[in-house]
Structure 1
């Protein structure tokens, strides 16, 4: 006699089958270089360069910068290296590994990859006057599969969507690796590599081939209009009632702790740099208390109120980037004067 599954039995069997398929998919091997090639921000590319800098370029990394486009377009590696040399007589190698958009989970993924590949002496992590409550939407594209699965589910609006996308990501990268058809190049091409510096403080190269010149100066009136438009959309520090307020930044706080632990386990130090928006106040004590983080390097000061240093409401222009890079280099030389190797010749930039 034919036996039929009960509705409950069918659901159990379906669940087991899906679990088997999911488990099989997420362990599919792939070329991790292809994974980094699969990412772009929608307007620019950088993740593939990050992988190339970490794995194909023998140049060491003494200081790794991790953050958003504020840091990516606001801190010059060349200025930092030259001015640190001028101040200390020591040579350091700096890599700006910042990627556009906010999300501490992606910062953790980049820091983990960097610690594994290069073991820098110091990680500098960006802090802002506001903190995103959301994870980075590209975490599922760049993170190790295990980090996607073990990400915190509580107060993480992307957890289940990331989990659902993971098998597809793994299968796609597996096929790309088999057929050697990634987004950019099947293997590292030295002629295409930008070199140890990825400088976007002067110009920004877009995916469509256009180049945005950042050597612009806006009037105070224009900058104030941009600031007002930004503040109109700014959420308050806390949206939840006081008894639940610590939950708002739980995800960021957890990943900041993971970054500190991973950096420490690799033998590196970790420090925070405050990068404000235009007209932003000093690093806000209430937010920093929520994050349990304190900036070692404050890159605000008088520059935050000077409209001639800003490209838009949140990003420095070329002159502002030089101001911020000089400020960071002097603070770095004062607080960490023993990085790198003794003996250097200050270069121009």
Structure 2
């Protein structure tokens, strides 16, 4: 059942949960929109709420460079790998920008089993992948459901064709305003913002073992993303978008493959008025970050 034929577009559309719905737009932007994809951001809600692709484009001052934000909430490098793979198998961007936080997560993404190809779920790392068996258990039902929607769309009130009426356009952003149009102007309380002083790397063999067990699965996918980008001859830039009070550089920087790093203006992250909560910038913070990202990317594109 896991290997029943289905269409990826249907799989992406069936991930219809909260903000994860953006996955449908990601697929449509890649496959059904002829507008170029030159710079593609991938990450979590830090990138979704921190980068406005329209503002980055405008601030680049280059009318021919097209930017998209393909971020989906929740951490999990398996999701990033799935989306990057979908992009590179169908498009040729000039640059992939992958979000990095102050530290890697232990868990993978709860939505990957909706989208990934069966062979990618079976071939996922299992040390220590808390979602490995859960993803495999869900796979047959997922495939049966998507195959049924493809084969008998009238039974489910499902239109398998792409609709330009429902398409959100070449940009879908959440950084400056919510999908309902309400501006993201809220400011985090003073009490909620504090420095993250408890972050540290292991200093002995036991710590190294725990480090490996906790983070192996996510770091495995970081390496897979890097290898995939090299295969398609597309460069990667790691964009450090931390929580409030995080160190100046990622704790995990030395664990990443050798690619370009983008460190943004520290003052953006220090200003408490730029945060809607300890993990997410508000409209003012996102505006500053998007403009600074354009400056950093402009310098990178010129030098590369």
Q: Indicate whether the TM-score tops 0.5.
A: yes
Of 107, 114, 139, 1:141 maps to: 114
After superposition, the C-alpha distances for 1:42-77 in whole angstroms (9 at most, x for unaligned) are: 356201111110111011101111000110121111
Of 93, 111, 117, 1:120 maps to: 93
User: Does the Cα contact within 8 Å between 2:50 and 2:280 map onto a contact in 1?
Assistant: yes
Matched, 1:150 2:119: no
Q: 1:221-300, aligned counterparts within 5 Å?
A: 222=189, 224-228=190-194, 241-244=206-209, 245-284=211-250, 286-292=251-257, 296-299=261-264
* Local SS of the residue matching 2:40: strand
Distance 1:324 1:302 in 2: 10
Cα drift, residue 30 of structure 1: 1.1
Cα drift, residue 200 of structure 1: 0.9
User: Does the Cα contact within 8 Å between 2:264 and 2:296 map onto a contact in 1?
Assistant: no
Of 173, 179, 185, 1:199 maps to: 173
Residues 243 and 31 of structure 1: CA distance in aligned 2, closer, same or farther (over 3 Å): closer
User: Does the Cα contact within 8 Å between 1:122 and 1:270 map onto a contact in 2?
Assistant: yes
Of 150, 157, 162, 2:135 maps to: 162
Distance 1:120 1:294 in 2: 16
* Local SS of the residue matching 2:217: helix
Q: What is aligned with 2:185?
A: 215
- Listed as ranges, the gaps of 5+ residues in structure 1 are 1-24, 340-349
Q: 1:7-156, aligned counterparts within 5 Å?
A: 25-43=1-19, 45-85=21-61, 89=62, 91-156=64-129
Q: What is aligned with 1:7?
A: none
Distance 2:255 2:4 in 1: 39
Distance 1:203 1:183 in 2: 32
Residues 63 and 180 of structure 1: CA distance in aligned 2, closer, same or farther (over 3 Å): same
Cα drift, residue 236 of structure 1: 6.6
* Local SS of the residue matching 2:276: coil
Larger Rg: 1
Matched, 1:318 2:288: no
User: Does the Cα contact within 8 Å between 1:84 and 1:91 map onto a contact in 2?
Assistant: no
Residues 310 and 117 of structure 1: CA distance in aligned 2, closer, same or farther (over 3 Å): same
Distance 1:235 1:177 in 2: 48
Cα drift, residue 231 of structure 1: 6.0
* Local SS of the residue matching 2:193: helix
Cα drift, residue 243 of structure 1: 4.1
Residues 338 and 28 of structure 1: CA distance in aligned 2, closer, same or farther (over 3 Å): farther
Residues 296 and 243 of structure 1: CA distance in aligned 2, closer, same or farther (over 3 Å): closer
- Listed as ranges, the gaps of 5+ residues in structure 2 are none
Cα drift, residue 212 of structure 1: 4.7
Deviates more, 1:105-114 or 1:292-301: 292-301
Residues 183 and 50 of structure 1: CA distance in aligned 2, closer, same or farther (over 3 Å): farther
User: Does the Cα contact within 8 Å between 2:52 and 2:176 map onto a contact in 1?
Assistant: no
Cα drift, residue 242 of structure 1: 2.4
Residues 54 and 243 of structure 1: CA distance in aligned 2, closer, same or farther (over 3 Å): closer
Residues 320 and 41 of structure 1: CA distance in aligned 2, closer, same or farther (over 3 Å): farther
Cα drift, residue 280 of structure 1: 1.9
User: Does the Cα contact within 8 Å between 1:253 and 1:292 map onto a contact in 2?
Assistant: no
RMSD value over aligned CA atoms? 2.5
